[in-house]
Amino acid sequence: MDSIRMVHVKLLAIDALSLTVHDNHSQSFSRKGKLISRIEVVGVVVSYERKDKYLSFLVDDGTGCIRCILWLNNQPDQFRLGVAAEMALEEAKAVQLGKLVRVRGKITMYKGMVQITVGDIFVERDPNAEILHWLDCIRLAKHCYDPPAGYLP
């Protein structure tokens, strides 16, 4: 049941935006009855907004636009979080309009909509990376993420 809960599940935006939200003691998400907490999407940055504390941007993969938020206010704590803050600032610089990005992170909600709280961002230089991501999403959905035929949650 929880086999994909802790991995980054590769999803198309149309799939990610239709996840089921469970508002019990702690917010959780499921896809076809399986709990998931982290996803990976690939798409083009079509808008972004930079504030002091965060960078918010929209990734368009052709099936939907998914909002991503990268927090920049990780305060250095005994040198431990300083590296994370520096990495977040570097990643924020890489996010530009028209760039093809691979975003991985935790699923969260914002104003009633699924968003990704960014763990890491990678700017793809190979335009074929997006095509391969589509094929990965389809293959993994059918052979790994979807419940077996006849399964009743």
Partner 1 sequence: MTTSAIKPGIPVILKELKPCSQFFKQGSSLRVTGRLQAYSADTAMAVIADADVSLKIDTQHLRDLNFRIGSSYQFIGELLILPDNNATLQARVGRNVDGIDLILYHQSLQLRRKYEAELTNSQQT
65: enclosing H helix or E strand: strand 65-71
Applying CB under 8 A, the span of 13-21, 22-30, 48-56, 84-92 interacting with partner 1 comes to 13-21
Query: Which helix (DSSP H) or strand (DSSP E) does residue 84 occupy?
Result: helix 82-94
Looking up tokens 């803050």 gives 85
Pairing outcome for strands 38-50 and 8-10:
parallel
**Minimum distance from CB of 13 to partner 1 (Å)?**
7
Please select the residue that binds partner 1; options are 1, 83, 87, 97, rule is CB under 8 A: 97
User: What is the distance between the alpha carbons of residues 126 and 129, in angstroms, rounded to a whole number?
Assistant: 6
> Of these, 35, 60, 71, 119, which contacts partner 1 (CB under 8 A)?
60
Place of tokens 């006849």: 150
Is residue 153 close enough to count as binding partner 1 by CB under 8 A? no
Pick from 81, 113, 123, 144: which binds partner 1 (CB under 8 A)? 113
Q: How many residues bind partner 1 (CB under 8 A)?
A: 38
| Single residue of 44, 72, 85, 140 touching partner 1 by CB under 8 A | 44
Q: Which residue among 4, 35, 65, 72 contacts partner 1 (CB under 8 A)? A: 65
Question: Quick one: 42 exposed, middle or buried, by C-beta within 10 A (0-12, 13-18, 19+)?
Answer: buried
Q: Are 29 and 21 in contact (CB under 8 A)?
A: yes
Note the residues at the interface with partner 1 (CB under 8 A). Answer: 12-15, 17-18, 32, 44-47, 58, 60-67, 96-100, 111-114, 126-128, 131, 134-135, 137-138, 141
